[in-house]
Amino acid sequence: MKKFKEKLSGRIFFALALSSISALALITGFILFHGVLLIEKVGLFDFIFGTVWAPGKEQYGIFPMIIGSVSVTLGAILIGVPIGICCSIFLAEFAPAGFRNFFRPAIQLLAGIPSVLYGFMGLVFIVPLIRDYLGGPGLSLLTGCIILGIMILPTVISISEVSLLSLPSQYKDGALALGLTHWQTIRCVLLPAAKSGIVAAVILGMGRAIGETMAVIMVLGNAVDIPDSILDPIRTLTTNIGIEMGYASGDHQDALFATGIILFVIIMILNSLAQYITRRKDK
Inside any domain, residue 177:
yes
Inside any domain, residue 271:
no
Inside any domain, residue 20:
no
Task: Calculate the average pLDDT of the chain.
Answer: 86
What angle is formed at CA 10 by the lines to CA 7 and CA 12, rounded to 5 degrees?
Answer: 110
Inside any domain, residue 115:
yes
Q: What is the CATH number of the domain that holds 162?
A: 1.10.3720.10
Digit-coded pLDDT (tens) for 207-254: 888 888 888 999 998 888 888 889 999 999 999 998 888 888 888 998
Measure the CA–CA gap between 107 and 110, rounded to whole angstroms. Answer: 5
DSSP state of 225: S
C-beta pairs of 90-99 under 8 Å, 24+ apart in sequence: 91/157, 91/161, 92/161, 92/164, 92/165, 93/164, 93/182, 93/186, 93/190
pTM of the model as a whole: 0.86
| pLDDT at 142 exceeding the cut of 60 | yes
Inside any domain, residue 262:
no
Q: Where residue 2 falls among pLDDT bands split at 50, 70, 90?
A: low
Inside any domain, residue 148:
yes
Inside any domain, residue 252:
no
Inside any domain, residue 181:
yes
Q: What's the confidence (pLDDT) of residue 283?
A: 55
Query: Number of folded domains in the chain?
Result: 1
Task: Average the pLDDT over 126-144 and give the result.
Answer: 91
Question: Which residues constitute the domain of residue 77?
Answer: 71-244
251, amino acid identity: D
